[in-house]
Amino acid sequence: MISAIVLAAGQATRFGECKQLVRLGGKTLLEHALAGVRGAKIDDVVVVLGANAEEILERIAFRETVVINPDFAGGMSTSIQAGLRAAKGDAALIVLGDQPFVASATLDALIDEYRRTKARVIIPTYRGLRGNPVLVDRSLFAEMMNIRGDVGCRAIFGDHADSIVNVPVEDRGVVVDIDTAEDLVGTSKAL
């Protein structure tokens, strides 16, 4: 079974409002990310909330498991860990809630590669740039529990360079995330 952990706990200090709920077209940023996950061959989805959790729960009807991370201010690593603990799968896609444009087909391509190669880490690349989401095998979860601060799973990849498979994709969405209101404007125009 493959899990997806959708990270949407951040307080987005560079953004200035509740980033997860910013609208882009007819949906919020987080709903865009969720739509990609819901369309893929994923059996278990854990959404991690933190900052503004009550507001987000009022506005979005989740049918996924939701975990509210009380330690979100301790950085992204704490939210990844809260999600990993709740995940049921043999592997987990670490999905960024502020990446609205990743296609379901891209997620499926990562999962297919995992099933074929059993590689412990699968990373999508767009024109040579490494992107997200990253798929991580359960055998690395224990190590990911030791990451501290505002860093993601890349913190442990240096120790597992031989276990990484890059999957080139034609989906620019894997390298687009929304950090500022300006990103949002630029992205809307570009896509």
Measured from the CB of residue 40, what is the shortest distance to a second copy in angstroms?
A: 18
Can you say whether the dihedral through the CA atoms of 74, 24, 64, 6 is positive or negative?
Answer: negative
Measured from the CB of residue 155, what is the shortest distance to a second copy in angstroms?
A: 19
CA separation, residue 71 to residues 39, 82, 93, 169, 177 (Å):
30, 9, 21, 34, 23
62 vs 126 by CB, closer to a second copy: 62
69 vs 132 by CB, closer to a second copy: 69
Measured from the CB of residue 171, what is the shortest distance to a second copy in angstroms?
A: 28
Find all residues with CB under 8 Å of 111, minimum gap 6, and list them: 2, 40, 41, 42, 93, 135
CB 46 within 8 A of CB 65: yes
Interface residues with a second copy (CB under 8 A)? 53-54, 57-58, 62-70, 82, 85-88
145 vs 151 by CB, closer to a second copy: 145
Measured from the CB of residue 77, what is the shortest distance to a second copy in angstroms?
A: 14
